[in-house]
A and B are shown apart, each in its own frame.
Chain A
Amino acid sequence: MLLRRNTLKIRSSEITPEHVYLSRRRFMRLGALALGSAALTACGGQLGDTLAGRTAPAGTREPLPAPTGSAEIKRDEFGDPANSFETISTYNNYYEFTEDKEAVSRLAANFKAEPWTVTVGGLVNNPRTYDIDDLRRKFDQEERIYRLRCVEGWSMVIPWIGFPLHKLLKEVEPKAEARYVRFESLFDPQQYPNQRPPTFYPWPYTEGLRLDEAMHDLTLMVTGLYGKPLPNSNGAPLRLAVPWKYGFKSIKAIVKIELTAEQPKTLWNTMAPHEYGFYSNVNPQRPHPRWSQATERRIGEPGRRPTLMFNGYAEQVAGLYAGMDLQVNY
């Protein structure tokens, strides 16, 4: 135990990424109140760890030991470390189960993610129904480390496993008149307590993308996480990851994909159109009426960091929206 605090050796895993360091510095610059935070940090526990930038999974007594080699830490292209498997799979917005993010993983424990089929149809030449195993075999499964920015103002870095949606769409051959892709989640009140009446939401959950967004290489059909099958709480067995859009666009537990000519209705846009637009691209310049979109809290990090346009994917996706007023088309 004493050797753990060997000050001469600094593991590369202990070197703080620059912008974390900078945000922490901004945090600490603030004189007297910083002392209070320092005191809280010194008190330790979960809050102390968070303020010190030491992450620990929820629901465990001890913080996880830091991985010994930097190679083991997965990072996004900015060098930010991925959140732990525990954090990613136990802090979820999955309203079919509950609105309580902490309770989802427990309620989802017995969810039946196998067998599972997905129908792909609508305006396509080859409508098909795929078994989830077909999809896993047919398309190479690759790891993509994406940032996920929730519309609520928090974010994570997540090493998804999956395949780009365009591979699947090419197989079914969209017709010329297809302009949008509509996604539908499972409707099963037996399994989803929050779908049982009386329910407030127009289930099933639906989402949509413009066809060019759906064909973009970043748009991922997700089947796994950290090299393992996708946890139930994250939308097993098949979900979407559209990293430049707010998290709710990345629909979970997909059973149906449909190509349409008209812009499809989506659940949140139907419920509160002035709050959740069809596009819902991450945009720090467009405040949400009830919370900040200019900054975000990276889970496991102290303070807040600035939110990046298109969640940091502007270089890849800004072209999709050339000439569009994103204040209007939010």
Chain B
Amino acid sequence: MKKLSLLALCLSFGLSLSAQKLKTRSGYVKFFSDAPVEDITAENKQVSSIINLENGEFAFLVPINAFQFEKALMQEHFNENYMESGQYPKAIFKGKIEGYDKINLEKDGSYTLTFKGTMTIHGVEQDLAQEVKLSVKDGKLSATAEFMLKCSDYKIEIPTAKADNISNEIAITVKFDYA
């Protein structure tokens, strides 16, 4: 009987853990390429993200073909020639937020923490550690981060003829409002 009650305790603890997972399916990712001939911006509003406040685990998933460009042909070339999204449909980050235990959903506040883990783009895995700004308002958590990624790190080839149109260094903005 004692064992059973212990089991029940453990299981309910497990349930309370999953309740600490915050998710969003309408996260936002923007990228910006600043090259001599043209600037290219694309936005994606179909990014999903999950954050586990019990252990700091943090992940997000970016469907590549959901990036919207100003020009239809740019979007096609992005998917077909550069990201090869038929073959690599998603970009994925998984890792942890360091210092997650400071986050208190009970009261409004903001935190500047570091997220650290593995970023997979175009089938290539790279370690990534960047600053993330987290804020709590009315019990809701949101996260924003701005950082640079290099195309060459992820084996995204930019032909020499296009070097003046597409920058190797891409500015990324992510924004998640968790439910």
Q: Do A and B come from one complex?
A: no
Q: Which residues of B contact A (CB under 8 A)?
A: none
Q: Which residues of A contact B (CB under 8 A)?
A: none
